[in-house]
Structure 1
Amino acid sequence: MKYLRLRDELLERLRAMAPGEPLPPERELARQLRVSRTTLRRALDDLVSTGAVRRRHGAGIFAVGPKIVQPLTATSFTEDMRARGMRPDTRVIEFGVVLAGARLGRRLEVSPSAEVVRALRLRLADDEPMALEMLHVPAELVPGLDAETLGEASFYQLLAERFGHPVVNGRQSIEPTVTDHDESELLTVPLHSPALLFERTSRDADGQVLEFVRAVYRGDRYRIETEISLLPVVAPGLMSGLA
């Protein structure tokens, strides 16, 4: 029970801290909380493993801030961050035009020889890296699109207002993963950190595929939330009248 109270007290303290703010040194924190350093270290290790804090070797332990709730709906990262009072930013790491090939052609429902705009984007909120997205778009749908334009505006807004293809629906899968070397470096997290892998295909009102996106979101900064509903229970005595 003492350990659980300590963990709750640390979490309460973290809620009042800004992202990136350091906790006091271990010796001082143990004195403040009136626990042994061994017990404190165990609690901090648990918080590091769940993503509540980040340990920087030689520098200490830092708050990461509350996790961002990601609903199971297609949303614009830019508008989503603005709605949360955060400042969104996008850095285009790679940008070019490639041939679709067989696998990507199937995803985008285009010929393997069709040209595809491919862009690797680092998404940030208040200057903190949040996600890494590899975007694929049939080149014929976005004539004249360049890296500078893509880095300055919401892609969904560009699709709708500049290219006349508003996103109407799509399909998205989510699975747990860990970051590789390049992802860890760009997201500023340790190698093999927990992450969420999103794969999304979006369509316009005519059913045309507009994009295929593969995105890695930091597991320490995101959690998935959805609403559920239960089907009404049919009384056994009524079942005989149902076909």
Structure 2
Amino acid sequence: MTGTEQRSPRTPSTPKRDRVRRHILDFIDNASPGTSLASERELAMTLGVSRPTIRAAIDDLVQSGLLVRRHGRGTFTSPQKITQELSGSTGLAAPPAQGTWSSRVVDFTIAPAGWSRASRLNIDPDDEILRVTRVRLVDGEPIAIERLELPAALVPGLAPEDMETGNFYQLLRERYGINVTEAVQTLEPSVTNPEQADLLDVPAFFPIMHIQRTTQDDTGRTIEYAQSAYRGDRYRITTKLHFDHTSG
């Protein structure tokens, strides 16, 4: 988090809200991922507290990633986290997850690269690039935002609907003969800005994993620059460590 970013203020805790929080935490511990929580009205009647007290406790647990609000449907326990092993041969380009993956394209634009994007993609500033922003979904639930930039000359005829299903790197191989071989990728914890929060259907300042990736094919060409925001409540990154006699 940078010095200019601020978290939304939290309401001071109270004994009643703590009691509500403990009740909901007990429910989460005994429920399956994705289980519906009782309505605010039902919880208020059961626990003998006001609805604002219920709402404040739920807000805290949503911000913590233990509960998920879905507009028009209610509040649910968080889905099971997707565990991704971090190694030199795998990344988050196409992370595994149970369910059906799809994408919703929200921007699909061809424009001159300009100096900064041309530098990233090793092309001339006047060359055109394709910029795609899409929301990745699992079983219809937003899970990530991907912003892709690639030289337009590499993918003639590519259309928005091509980016809605299937594996993008497989499409590059089969339609355009582009074989992706390596990438430099960085991961950084962050929080959503208002635009990201709206696309992911989460509150502002929600935890995300921000990823930047520059990808090359088997000829050494830079074929893609990508920035992605993965929901922090849906991912767990694991790393295998090796130690020797010099390890601290």
- Is the structural similarity TM-score above 0.5? yes
Match of 2:30 in 1: 13
Where is the helix percentage greater, Structure 1 or Structure 2? 1
SS for the counterpart of 2:118 is helix
User: Cα deviations across residues 125-150 of structure 1 (Å, max 9, x unaligned)?
Assistant: 01000011111111121121111222
Question: Is 1:195 equivalent to 2:211 in the alignment?
Answer: no
CA distance in 1 between partners of 2:45 and 2:120 (Å):
55
User: Unaligned 5+ residue runs, structure 1?
Assistant: 32-36, 235-243
Greater Rg by CA:
1
Q: Cα 1:55–1:116, aligned 2, differ >3 Å: closer, same or farther?
A: closer
User: Cα deviations across residues 61-80 of structure 1 (Å, max 9, x unaligned)?
Assistant: 42121222233333553xx4
| Contact 2:180-2:218 at 8 Å conserved across structures | yes
Q: Which amino acid aligns with 1:70?
A: Q
Question: Is 1:224 equivalent to 2:224 in the alignment?
Answer: no
User: Cα deviations across residues 13-54 of structure 1 (Å, max 9, x unaligned)?
Assistant: 23x2435x22464346659xxxxx9x9999756533320113
Match of 1:22 in 2: 37
Q: Which amino acid aligns with 2:152?
A: A
Q: Which amino acid aligns with 1:220?
A: D
Bigger shift: residues 125-134 or 103-112: 103-112
Equivalent position to 2:65, from 51, 55, 58: 51
CA distance in 2 between partners of 1:59 and 1:146 (Å):
33
Question: How far has the Cα of 1:60 moved from its partner?
Answer: 6.2
Match of 1:63 in 2: 77
CA distance in 1 between partners of 2:71 and 2:106 (Å):
28
Match of 1:34 in 2: none
| Contact 2:63-2:206 at 8 Å conserved across structures | no
Q: Cα 1:224–1:122, aligned 2, differ >3 Å: closer, same or farther?
A: same
Question: How far has the Cα of 1:206 moved from its partner?
Answer: 2.0
User: Unaligned 5+ residue runs, structure 2?
Assistant: 1-18
TM-score, scaled to structure 1? 0.77
In the alignment of these two chains, the number of paired residues is: 223
Q: Which amino acid aligns with 1:109?
A: N
Q: Cα 1:8–1:185, aligned 2, differ >3 Å: closer, same or farther?
A: closer
Bigger shift: residues 130-139 or 172-181: 172-181
| Contact 1:184-1:191 at 8 Å conserved across structures | yes
Matches within 5 A, 1:31-180: 47-54=61-68, 61-72=75-86, 73-77=90-94, 80-81=95-96, 84-180=97-193
Match of 1:207 in 2: 220
TM-score, scaled to structure 2? 0.76
User: Cα deviations across residues 210-240 of structure 1 (Å, max 9, x unaligned)?
Assistant: 110011111222222222211x216xxxxxx
What is the identity percentage for the equivalent residue pairs of Structure 1 and Structure 2?
Answer: 37
Q: Which amino acid aligns with 1:233?
A: H
Q: Cα 1:45–1:152, aligned 2, differ >3 Å: closer, same or farther?
A: closer
Q: Cα 1:185–1:7, aligned 2, differ >3 Å: closer, same or farther?
A: closer
Question: Is 1:233 equivalent to 2:245 in the alignment?
Answer: yes
| Contact 2:68-2:75 at 8 Å conserved across structures | yes
Equivalent position to 1:182, from 195, 198, 205: 195
Question: How far has the Cα of 1:95 moved from its partner?
Answer: 0.5
Q: Which amino acid aligns with 1:138?
A: P
SS for the counterpart of 2:164 is helix
